Amino acid sequence: MAFSRRLFLKTGGLGLLSLGLPPSFLVRAAEGEKSRRNKILVVVFQRGGMDGLNAVVPFKDRSYYSLRPSIAIAEPSSGKDRTIDLDGFYGLHPALAPLTPLFDKGHLAVIHAAGSPDNTRSHFDAQDYMELGTPGVKNTPDGWLNRLLTENKSDRNPFRAVSLTQRLPRILAGKAPALTMTSIEEFRLRDSLLAPALQKVYANIQDPLLRQGGENVFEAMRILKTMESTLPPPSSESYPAGRLGESLKQIGRLIKANIGIEIAFTEIEGWDTHVNEGGAEGQMANRLQELAGALAAFYRDLGDRMDDVALVTLSEFGRTARENGNRGTDHGHANVMFAMGGKIKGGKVYGRWPGLDPGVLYEGRDLALTTDFRAVCGEILSRHLGQKDLKKVFPAYEFAGPPFGIIA
């Protein structure tokens, strides 16, 4: 059975759960863990490049409508299929209506004209740069969430970082171990003889990264097997069908189990809207409906535990300001980020609006970037998770100017 560092990263760190391994159910840690309520960061990656201009509409910028004659969202007014007014200038796409109560309550913030400063229009490069946290630099060996784990050295809890994905994402790749699973139920040992056999295999591996990953998984197995109290029952909250809703449902259950989770990651694909993007209805509206439904259900599911959680969304780039000949949009530049949590200072759209006049568009075609995603994430890491040295997490970024004040 041949193993390599490449295989380790490709299959999700040890194959962990991508190989269909481990125990029948997750459990709470010991009795003393039940009262522990650590701070948690949840990252949702929107793969494909979301159209931020139709997600959060600058309806008072008249250029928006001239650039998008067939896919623009109508200004706020009575009736359906219109922009939901947020502050007199920006409005939510009608499919994001489930998020309006969170915004009105002050627990959802929007950051517009945000993203990665690198100008690549390649999905693969842009996603890598954002996950590595070093835009424009491809040879960074680890993801920024992994560097955060390495810097923020707590006890050796195998459940510190969990990715609800098929494979370990680049953002969590590195020296610090992270678990990967598609669901709690899949985290099941179907053959009791398999774990001992794998332990023998990994005991002989020389690569320290592989060996450490193996030790982390087997420690997780050991903890789970020795616990008797089970996870909280599956949530009765109505999550939308789809991968994101199911992943956030699993993350919520892990958080409520009080097993020491610090970082959770998941993703939602389908944002590459080159053709027939749609306006108030259509392809993108369907994806936004899934996103909003999942985020709102997660918020309701956790209740007062949202005081301990900060959730942030990322997408590798936005879309062109002008619609294309196929009633869609092409790869662009700046985008929209959402931040959600009980301590998020929401009810506001953050960031400087650069405008959509042809003379100010980035490279003559895109919304210009005025907020680096690292400024937003860095503030959350600092004020929510207590990370003191942000240069250790985002080594190539100069944190200049006052923080947004996006989190209490």
User: What SS3 string covers 309-355?
Assistant: EEEEEEECCCEECCCCCCCCCCECCCEEEEEEECCECCCEEECCCCC
User: What SS3 string covers 263-288?
Assistant: EEEEEECCCCCCCCCCCCCCHHHHHH
The two tokens of residue 397 are: 């970024």
Residue 73 contacts residue 54 (beta carbons within 8 Å): yes
CA 273 to chain centre: 20
- The CATH class for the domain spanning 36-184+231-392 reads alpha beta
| Per-residue tens of pLDDT for the chain, all 408 residues | 344 444 344 434 443 433 333 333 344 444 444 446 899 999 999 999 999 999 999 999 999 999 999 999 999 998 889 999 999 999 999 999 999 999 999 999 999 999 999 999 999 999 999 999 999 999 999 999 999 999 877 667 778 999 999 999 999 999 898 988 888 776 544 334 455 666 666 566 666 656 565 565 566 555 555 444 556 888 999 999 999 999 999 999 989 988 889 999 999 999 999 999 999 999 999 999 999 999 999 999 999 999 999 999 999 999 999 999 999 999 999 999 999 999 999 999 999 999 999 999 999 999 999 999 999 999 999 999 999 999 999 998 999 888 899 998
* Alpha-carbon span 292 to 298, nearest angstrom: 10
Query: Tell me, what's the pLDDT at 180?
Result: 87
* Alpha-carbon span 305 to 261, nearest angstrom: 13
Query: Tell me, what's the pLDDT at 155?
Result: 64
Task: Give the distance between the most distant pair of CA atoms in the chain.
Answer: 68
Query: Tell me, what's the pLDDT at 401?
Result: 81
For residue 71, the 8-state DSSP code is T
Query: Tell me, what's the pLDDT at 195?
Result: 58
Query: Tell me, what's the pLDDT at 17?
Result: 36
Class of residue 200 by CB neighbours under 10 A (exposed 0-12, middle 13-18, buried 19+): exposed
Amino acid, res. 406: I
Query: Tell me, what's the pLDDT at 205?
Result: 64
Query: Tell me, what's the pLDDT at 199?
Result: 61
Residue 202 contacts residue 25 (beta carbons within 8 Å): no
Decide: pTM greater than 0.95.
Answer: no
